[in-house]
Amino acid sequence: MGSTRGSVLLLLCGLVLLAGAQTSKSNVPRLKLSYKEMLQSNNLVTFEGLANSSAYHTFLLDEEKGRLVVGAKDHIFSFNLLNISKDYSQIPWPPSTTRRDECKWAGKDLSRECANFVKVLQPLNQTHLYVCGTGAFHPVCGFLEVGRRPEDNLFRLGPFIENGRGKSPYDPKLLTASMLIDGELYSGTSADFMGRDFAIFRTLGKHHPIRTEQHDSRWLNDPRFVSVHLIPESDNPEDDKIYLFFRESAIDGEHAGKATHARIGQLCKNDLGGHRSLVNKWTTFLKARLVCSVPGPNGIDTHFDELQDVFLMSTKDPKNPIVYTVFTTSSNIFKGSAVCLYSMVDIRRVFLGPYAHRDGPNYQWVPFQGRVPYPRPGTCPSKTFGGFDTTKDLPDDVITFARSHPAMFHPVYPINNKPIIVKTDVDYQFTQIVVDKVDAEDGQYDVMFIGTDIGTVMKVVSVPRGSWHDLEEVLLEEMTVFREPTAITAMELSTKQQQLYLGSSIGVSQMPLHRCEVYGKACAECCLARDPYCAWDGTECSRYFPMAKRRTRRQDIRNGDPLTQCSDLQHQDELNGQTTMLEKSVFGVENSSTFLECSPKSQRALTSWQYQRTSEDRKQEVKAEERLILTEQGLLIRTLGRSDSGLYLCQAVEHGFMQTLVKVTLEVIDTERLEDLLHRGQETASQTPAQDPPPPHPPHLPPLPSSPHRESPNQKLWYRDFLSLVNHPTLNSVDEFCEQVWKRERKHKRQKAQLVQQQQQQQQRGQSPTMHTHGPHVRAHGLVSAKWKHLQDRQKGRNRRTHELERAPRSV
């Protein structure tokens, strides 16, 4: 009942919308596509998952063979990159019954934990992949044969299964970051049943397995691994380094309370461990903190510490990829996400800087200022330089120093010292990121695809405003890619297929990187979209290919200015405009209400209405008042008067460019004439809800408020008023909008109530006014009844004779 009242209240509020509600819209996605819209426009292909599987989290993209291999619960899948729902293969890989029973006896949940969750999927050689899973709390690994060429059409799991300890975690909730290079598997994972022994391992290959120091919180402190990458340091392969991204608990004393730090760790690929100490342990491990924060107004920074995902964007120089990262906050109070970029130059500078050292009376962290042994810990051994062939030859003082100083003192700050994207005012968080480099007419752009924890993908391009130090984020699209809100946990982008693949616990989805036709046919519409993948080609908005030179092609990513790009096409554009502009006639009955619909495709556009009584009259802007309500979906005219007849033009303005979207000719029929028409038994053709027989009660609509007004005709009349809003396809947005207005209304009422109270008090006692507040509950109900009464008063004695009243639906 409470929620019913709430919804009715929201509907009511729709009738008291105020002017000036449309303000700045720079932070909203220009285009928002629902799951249904994505499917209907052929922009989404889905794999809905198997009934006996879930957790489609481990992806391996093989562009050469045209396959996407996905590791999930008890299964491995191989999808066709062209269309994931067309022909896919699956290999069931459940744990044995014995293992399942053991897992159950150990007190684990049979369906959620005692299964084989695939966590590692890495290319091993030309014909095989290496695959590992949790194996019902007993990690296992195997060899997956995929063949040499696509036409081999091979996909089978070999019979040989080996122990997966140190490769896959035991617990399916934990993640593994892994990478197989030159026959060796690097993995950051937990290596015990209890999930306490976290380490970075190197296994497989010809060397003895090697790991980080065990149970030493200076090295790793309850870490969660995010990703592993090989980045060359120089042209000498001896200098190749492995970088691990993870988050971990800050060490006591480093921070007040429990805090998380984001980290980057480095290792030398040719590290073989120490000789006398640190035997079979890394001797070149170092870690540094990654900072991603926004300066606050009062000197307190907002820190984003929960590193979620990392994407390396390659550049011309393989030594210096750009590091794209996604962070969220660890705060329970406020949800926020950010994207920070780091340069390898900054990262290397920090690893060459001072080591963190604990010293002084408070045992605090300070930069180490003593003598650093030679060769400097963290440097890779090299036959050609430095005189140390292998880490086994390193002097004891180097090993000792390395063991006690794994952390660097200085943190790594992001490029330009701040995030390039921050989102804090929303009820979702970022989870994944992939980036595509796109050539456009006016330069090269990085287009980011960001996955969220509610199953949506944001497509964002960062455009330099003046210089590269001042970037503007243009949120091009927001798309829902899963049938229900679920976190996106895996993301791969295929430049060859121009497709994006997404994983979650409920399935796998696929979408194209661009859908230029959605922006509209006109030059201006295509130009306003600012999508580097799209350009106006002379007739429509289509995929931009930098190679093909065409004179008619128009694109402006940097400014998105249709005036400079399309003005010479004015005439042609107008023709195009004719096809996109909607023209219609609407009939309304005197003293009833009508809704003129106009919602621009772009959420960035601001709409306004022009009114022209006859073609001789001047156009004038429609201003909001009690009777005329401007909403984001259109214009609601309450209690139509005969003088409301005329031409209504809905115009959208975006980036200084104005477009007429809708042209409505409204004719108001007076009641006498309507009676006449009805008496003659003629059905009048009309498009207004006001005159159509009222549609059946929509299932999602709350019933009318009950007694004492239940059956009164006035109420039915009001109900019809709502229906004209409710019938609207985008009721949700009406609701959202209403909610804002409702808040405003409350504030307004509170001020009013305060005023009345002040007056009363002054009259009675002559005292100074005091603040008076109601609980929100009381206020909401008060507002409903007050509004209700007000609306009833206004309607009293009106429109009783209109026929459709008798046919108004009864509330349930």
Ligand X SMILES: *[C@@H]1O[C@H](CO)[C@@H](O)[C@H](O)[C@H]1NC(C)=O
One residue of 8, 11, 13, 45 binding ligand X per CB under 6 A: 45
Q: Is 42 in the site for ligand X (CB under 6 A)?
A: yes
Q: Is 126 in the site for ligand X (CB under 6 A)?
A: yes
Structure tokens at 333: 């109070």
Interface with ligand X in residues 49-68 (CB under 6 A)? 50, 52
Q: Is 172 in the site for ligand X (CB under 6 A)?
A: no
Closest distance of CB 693 from ligand X, Å: 20
Helix (H) or strand (E) holding 512: strand 508-512
One residue of 86, 206, 571, 680 binding ligand X per CB under 6 A: 86
Q: What phi and psi values does residue 756 have, to the nearest 5 degrees? A: -60, -45
The answer to whether the beta carbons of residues 94 and 115 sit under 8 Å apart is yes
Q: Is 85 in the site for ligand X (CB under 6 A)?
A: yes
Instruction: Tell me whether residue 83 or residue 217 sits nearer to ligand X (CB atom).
Output: 83
**Residue that the structure tokens 């036709």 belong to:** 517
Segment interacting with ligand X, rule: CB under 6 A, options 122-130, 305-313, 341-349, 598-606? 122-130
766 phi-psi bin (left φ>0, alpha ψ -120 to 50, beta other): left
Closest distance of CB 672 from ligand X, Å: 8
Closest distance of CB 127 from ligand X, Å: 4
Segment interacting with ligand X, rule: CB under 6 A, options 10-18, 82-90, 452-460, 681-689? 82-90
Coil, helix or strand at residue 782: helix
Segment interacting with ligand X, rule: CB under 6 A, options 44-52, 61-69, 443-451, 684-692? 44-52
- C-alpha–C-alpha distance, residues 748 and 306, integer Å: 40
Instruction: Tell me whether residue 233 or residue 590 sits nearer to ligand X (CB atom).
Output: 590
At a CB cut-off of 8 Å and minimum separation 6, what does 37 contact?
none
Q: What phi and psi values does residue 742 have, to the nearest 5 degrees? A: -60, -45
Question: Order of strands across the sheet with 306-313?
Answer: 306-313, 322-328, 337-343, 421-423
Instruction: Tell me whether residue 42 or residue 682 sits nearer to ligand X (CB atom).
Output: 42
The answer to whether the beta carbons of residues 717 and 791 sit under 8 Å apart is no
Q: Give the x/- contact pattern for ligand X in 744-783, rule: CB under 6 A.
A: ----------------------------------------
3-state helix, strand, coil in the chain (%, to 5): 20, 30, 45
Structure tokens at 491: 């993301």
**In Å, what is the CA distance from 121 to each residue of 196, 315, 433, 592?**
23, 26, 19, 65
One residue of 5, 32, 128, 553 binding ligand X per CB under 6 A: 128
- C-alpha–C-alpha distance, residues 121 and 131, integer Å: 5
- C-alpha–C-alpha distance, residues 791 and 812, integer Å: 22
- C-alpha–C-alpha distance, residues 119 and 175, integer Å: 7
One residue of 10, 74, 264, 593 binding ligand X per CB under 6 A: 74
One residue of 248, 305, 492, 590 binding ligand X per CB under 6 A: 590
Specify burial of residue 458 (Cβ count, 10 A radius: 0-12, 13-18, 19+): buried
Q: How many of the other CB atoms lie within 10 Å of CB of 286?
A: 21
Closest distance of CB 126 from ligand X, Å: 5
One residue of 610, 660, 671, 754 binding ligand X per CB under 6 A: 671
One residue of 59, 117, 137, 143 binding ligand X per CB under 6 A: 143
Q: Is 312 in the site for ligand X (CB under 6 A)?
A: no
Closest distance of CB 129 from ligand X, Å: 9
The answer to whether the beta carbons of residues 171 and 135 sit under 8 Å apart is no
Closest distance of CB 63 from ligand X, Å: 18
Nearest Cα neighbor of 17 from 537, 737, 777, 622 is 737
Instruction: Tell me whether residue 421 or residue 669 sits nearer to ligand X (CB atom).
Output: 669
Please report which residue ranges of 567-657 form alpha helices under DSSP H.
570-580
Amino acid (1-letter code) at residue 514 = H
- C-alpha–C-alpha distance, residues 516 and 529, integer Å: 9
Segment interacting with ligand X, rule: CB under 6 A, options 63-71, 124-132, 317-325, 389-397? 124-132
Instruction: Tell me whether residue 50 or residue 753 sits nearer to ligand X (CB atom).
Output: 50
Q: Is 591 in the site for ligand X (CB under 6 A)?
A: yes
Q: Is 627 in the site for ligand X (CB under 6 A)?
A: no
In this structure, the strands spanning 471-480 and 31-33 are: parallel
Q: Is 124 in the site for ligand X (CB under 6 A)?
A: yes
DSSP conformation class of 73:
B
Q: Is 805 in the site for ligand X (CB under 6 A)?
A: no
Structure tokens at 41: 């426009």
Q: Is 603 in the site for ligand X (CB under 6 A)?
A: no
Instruction: Tell me whether residue 143 or residue 719 sits nearer to ligand X (CB atom).
Output: 143
Segment interacting with ligand X, rule: CB under 6 A, options 119-127, 131-139, 369-377, 463-471? 119-127
One residue of 4, 22, 127, 686 binding ligand X per CB under 6 A: 127
Q: Is 798 in the site for ligand X (CB under 6 A)?
A: yes
Structure tokens at 726: 């409710």
- C-alpha–C-alpha distance, residues 791 and 509, integer Å: 49
Q: Is 4 in the site for ligand X (CB under 6 A)?
A: no
Closest distance of CB 453 from ligand X, Å: 26
Q: Is 655 in the site for ligand X (CB under 6 A)?
A: no
* Residues facing 303 on adjacent strands: 293
DSSP conformation class of 523:
H
Interface with ligand X in residues 343-372 (CB under 6 A)? none
Closest distance of CB 52 from ligand X, Å: 4
Coil, helix or strand at residue 105: helix
The answer to whether the beta carbons of residues 420 and 341 sit under 8 Å apart is yes
Q: Is 799 in the site for ligand X (CB under 6 A)?
A: yes
Q: Number of residues interacting with ligand X: please give it, by CB under 6 A.
A: 21
Instruction: Tell me whether residue 73 or residue 423 sits nearer to ligand X (CB atom).
Output: 73
Closest distance of CB 639 from ligand X, Å: 7
* Residues that bind ligand X in the complex, under the rule CB under 6 A: 42, 45, 50, 52, 74, 83, 85-86, 92, 94, 124-128, 143, 590-591, 671, 798-799
